[in-house]
């Protein structure tokens, strides 16, 4: 059936992501950055939170919630290392 099934999930999923990204921008700017890295890490945090909450709420994924969250957090490290390498090789402060 065509309709808006899942609309609430979509609103919450992207809403949390957007709020965390905006919060990250604000923190980054207060620390003297441009907001780009804050948006990136805020979005990563928002995605991690929503994936954890979604896994806890879904009986089929509940046993995997910690592993799912760990996988999301590992991306923080990969992105952080990537940004450091970007700065090292380009001499630019931001990757964007």
Does residue 46 belong to any structural domain of this protein? yes
Does residue 63 belong to any structural domain of this protein? yes
Does residue 96 belong to any structural domain of this protein? no
pLDDT category, 4, cuts 50, 70, 90?
Answer: confident
Using one digit for the tens of pLDDT, what is the confidence trace for 9-34? 788 888 899 999 999 999 999 999 99
Does residue 95 belong to any structural domain of this protein? no
Does residue 50 belong to any structural domain of this protein? yes
Using one digit for the tens of pLDDT, what is the confidence trace for 36-86? 999 999 999 999 999 999 899 889 999 999 999 999 999 999 999 999 999
The pTM of this model reads 0.81
How many domains in the chain? 1
Torsion 26-37-76-19 (CA) sign: positive
Does residue 24 belong to any structural domain of this protein? yes
Q: Give the domain extent around 62.
A: 13-90
Does residue 55 belong to any structural domain of this protein? yes
pLDDT category, 8, cuts 50, 70, 90?
Answer: confident
């Amino acid at each position: 059936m065509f309709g808006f099934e899942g609309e609430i999930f979509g609103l919450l999923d992207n809403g949390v992501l957007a709020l965390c990204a905006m919060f990250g921008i604000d923190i980054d700017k207060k620390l003297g950055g441009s907001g780009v890295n804050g948006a990136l890490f805020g979005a990563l945090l928002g995605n991690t939170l929503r994936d954890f909450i979604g896994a806890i709420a879904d009986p089929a994924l509940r046993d995997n919630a910690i592993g799912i969250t760990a996988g999301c957090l590992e991306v923080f490290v990969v992105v952080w290392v990537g940004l450091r390498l970007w700065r090292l090789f380009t001499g630019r402060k931001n990757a964007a």
